[in-house]
Amino acid sequence: MKKLTRFTIGLSVLIFCLLITGCTNKEIVKTFYLQDVKVTGPVNLAPVHITDTSNVPSFTISARFLYNTQKKVQGTVEGHSQVNAQGNFEYETIFNDEDGTVTYRETQGANIYDYKGRNLTWNTSSLSTGFDIDMKLTHHFALFGGLNYSVQNNKSLWGYIAGLGFFSNKNGMGIRIDGGLHIQNIYYDANTLVSVTGDENYLLFLHDKDKASHVDPFVNFTFNTAYKDWAANLFISAGFTGQTLADFEPKDPDPDFYLPVPPYLIPVNINRHVIVNDLRGESFASFVHLTPGIYFNVTDESRILIGSRFYFETQVENADKNIFIIPFAQVDFMF
């Protein structure tokens, strides 16, 4: 009798667990696709530092003004879902008459083609300014830091740089190697598709808009002449700069698909195993750059630099344009 009682209690507990808490350990798979992303922000530009003296300790304050001739770049970010014959993701809208909610499901057999379009748009800032301080601590070593400001589409953005430099000045010529980090604010506007498979198959549409800060490296080499009796001296700078365009976690429901009350939040039992497949590719640009120019010594403590920055983008896939030409002027004050 006691064994039968234990068996009955155990069976009742098992049935209660299955019915109430769903102890089935079924898997739910969430697959993330980046459908399109728009970003707004300036190109990360490495500083130009002239070496014309070995006096230490000393520091230079620089003010820069730049004009970007390339207003927009479009390219492709990996991780878009497959599409139909017209190049669009096809889905069905299902209305639930009982509770008034809406569910979206992928149209079976329609999305069988790889996406061939451009789902990245980068709106670059036309005008920007910068300010930095370069501190020469020894005859061959310097620390520098600064900030930049730009406006695009009525959005104000700040960026920062920090790094160290190694330099030498001899026989009327100077060389310098700079390395450091950019910290740049950038706006993003991204649409993400989430395909959920398990007991039920459905779609989630997310639309995230925000501002983010990204940290990226740069390295720069500068050669310049340094003759005090010349009316104008020459310089040429070259290097590599990286730039993260978008790196975010999708979370906001698309208001075009959902009401303010979120019916998209379907409860997931805590005993189910959720597998996340994030297929979104990196939104990253990298530049090889070259900057020729001249500078004028206005006084013993000031000079003016004029040149053009040629930035060649190498990372964005299927880019419609990959050359940025950015004229600039810079004023240095030496102390």
- The model's pLDDT over 213-240, given as tens digits with 9 standing for 90+, comes to 999 999 999 999 999 899 999 999 999 9
Q: What are phi and psi of 199, to 5 degrees?
A: -60, -35
Q: State the first-to-last Cα distance of the chain, in angstroms, to the nearest integer.
A: 98
Beta-carbon contacts of 133 under 8 Å, excluding residues fewer than 6 positions away, are 59, 60, 61, 62, 144, 145, 146
Top pLDDT among 161 and 52 is at 161
Q: Rg (Cα) of the chain, in Å, rounded?
A: 28
Q: Where are the domains of the chain?
A: 2-80+115-334
**CA distance to 15, 18, 26, 269, 270, per residue, from 11 (Å):** 6, 11, 21, 21, 22
Contact 137, 143 (CB under 8 A): yes
Provide the residue type at 92 as one letter.
E
Q: Which residues, listed in sequence order, are joined to residue 222 by a DSSP beta bridge?
A: 176, 237
**CA distance to 9, 33, 260, 291, 326, per residue, from 252 (Å):** 45, 14, 11, 42, 36
pLDDT digits (tens, 9 = 90+) for 40-67: 999 999 999 999 887 889 999 999 999 9
Torsion region of 15: left, alpha or beta (phi above 0 gives left; psi -120 to 50 gives alpha): alpha
Beta-carbon contacts of 16 under 8 Å, excluding residues fewer than 6 positions away, are none
pTM to 2 decimal places: 0.84
Strand pairing report for 120-123 and 72-75: antiparallel
Per-residue burial over 120-131, b if 16 or more Cβ lie within 10 Å, else e, is: bebbbbeebebe
- Give the percent of the chain with pLDDT over 90: 73
Strand pairing report for 27-40 and 273-278: parallel
Top pLDDT among 178 and 322 is at 178
Rounded to the nearest 5 percent, the helix, strand and coil shares of the chain are: 5, 60, 35
pLDDT digits (tens, 9 = 90+) for 183-212: 999 999 999 999 999 888 999 999 999 999
Q: What local confidence, expressed as pLDDT, does residue 23 receive? A: 47
Q: Which fold, 2-80+115-334?
A: Porin (2.40.160)
pLDDT digits (tens, 9 = 90+) for 68-86: 888 899 999 999 999 999 9
Mean pLDDT score of the chain, rounded to an integer?
88
